[in-house]
Structure 1
């Protein structure tokens, strides 16, 4: 497998779909040997067997995961990605994504794994790893919390009380916020928030808001519009 093929596979796995221009741009930034757009277009026009074997298709000017096209989610995913920046790991890390099953094991992933080992699998790391990888996949594709909890039940895992259920939910949510997902162009939800949304949030003022009111005289017309004097109308009610 040549290096351009590896880049196409790795970028497709990391981003779900990737435009031909982005493939050329990232490849040329990370390698002394430079490619042209025609080199990339050759893969679009004549997809190699290596791409088909890992379920990567050509569609318009993009390399796309087959599942996205089968589920008719191409346009939706493009819309979700719109204007978001791209997370581009260093070359050695990026090429790990040639393996479709590879994902970055964050601190939050290891926290969940440790909890499962301690509370459900009595140190059996292999069984804990299986379910932790499944949960990572569920979070990656945005499945709801009930589906994730059902995965525990399906493995005959019993929660001892509501506190433990809430502990697991908290760990899963922390994991979900730190997973690199397609719709964020490889960024995690937390990174998108911290880098690109949080700086735009306005902080509350140091002093509380106050509303100034003009003082109404007792003999002035009542502001409610009744035609009566204020003292004969709403003054007593207030």
Structure 2
């Protein structure tokens, strides 16, 4: 979704979670995913091309590489460009004129220190994957490791894991130097990283996007972080690479449903508020859950109407709720109602019931354009502000409608 460039990136991240099954799976299923339905043909084709190129490159290396825990042996089948990509990820210096053997030697010499610096910033999910790798002594059949596929892709990009072939089977191979580093990881630091990432994801659920600096400033007192901003930024950047749940670029985070910061700024202009909802630690941690779209009670009325009138399976309901949440956040209530009525082919007698149910949902969702406040909270805030103003019945209504007070907010009981 970034210039619809981040949309591409999100799709690449989602789909490459299965890339290590390269000899057993085709990339054709990509077009079946829901998020491609609203992407134009040009972008979808570009995404497919990127993924296929990566799969082909990985397959080519895997078929040349034998199972091993020797770092140099694992690296020797890679191209110079791939070696340089690994060195960039690990912050290992090289010269443009370096030959392939020189690059491999530099990686080998600096590998352990570089890996340890990276692993300092990972979260608990990644840590669990690391422990599984260690338990399997660094050689893992691919079919047995795909539960942590995002972490697997991350570790391949960082030069920690390599796909190799043996007896017509694929394996993930970890260099011996990598296995030596894993026990040195401070588990308490990992737990702290985990909480920081969760708090950040929770804040992105409410606000849509926020800088690392503002994130630290807006944390409630019982969730304050005793780390320098630079360290927090490294943790958040690593969180994007390992969990693929948000975008993080130039010290700014965005909710995964957003394309770019310009889209968020446009939404904020609609909300016309500089006031941010104050959040508790409990609220932030609850909202940090994967694919979280709010408390299910928010959708209770809507779900009942749908189940009473449509035969939709459980996963279909979940997709509909995600569609409802995303469309409301990005396009607003009116557009959501229009799309829902069209998508569900709502008969006329059911129009008002569906509309009321959607309106009920929208009043309860913390909106990015309102900086985390719900529509109900925003309207209540406007009501409170109006009550503070003494106004005559024939005076212009302070809500800004242009109508007289007696024909506007007074008639609504405000």
TM-score band, normalised by shorter chain:
0.5 to 0.7
Task: Report the alpha carbon displacement of residue 205 of structure 1 after superposing the two structures with TM.
Answer: 4.8
Report SS of the residue matched to 2:287: helix
Superposed CA RMSD in Å reads 3.3
- Pick the structure with more helix per residue: 2
- 1:1-238 aligned at under 5 Å gives the runs 1=123, 2=193, 3-27=195-219, 29-31=221-223, 34-42=226-234, 47-48=237-238, 50-52=239-241, 53-59=244-250, 61-65=251-255, 68-70=258-260, 72-80=262-270, 83-105=273-295, 107-121=297-311, 127-143=316-332, 144=335, 145-153=337-345, 159=347, 162-195=348-381, 197-201=382-386, 205=392
CA offsets 1:191-220 (integer angstroms, 9 cap, x no match)? 11102x1122257757x79xxxxxxxxxxx
Q: Give the structure, 1 or 2, with the largest relative contact order (CA under 8 Å, sep 6 or more).
A: 1
Say if 1:79 and 1:190 are closer, same or farther in 2 by CA, change over 3 A.
Answer: same
Structure 2 runs not aligned, ≥5 long: 1-122, 124-192, 396-414
Aligned residue for 2:331, secondary structure, equals coil
Superposed displacement of residue 113, structure 1: 1.0
SS in 2 for 1:179: coil
Distance 1:109 1:74, change over 3 A: closer
Question: Could you list the runs of 5+ residues in structure 1 that have no partner in the other structure?
Answer: 210-238
Q: CA deviation at 1:165?
A: 1.1
Aligned counterpart, 1:221: none
Q: Deviations over 1:47-106 (max 9, x none)?
A: 21x2132241223x5222466454842542454566432224432331233234212236
Asked if structure 1 preserves the Cα contact closer than 8 Å seen for 2:276 and 2:372, the reply is yes
Secondary structure, in 3 states, of the residue corresponding to 2:358? helix
- The secondary structure found in structure 1 opposite 2:344 is helix
Aligned residues: 196
Query: TM-score normalized by structure 1?
Result: 0.66
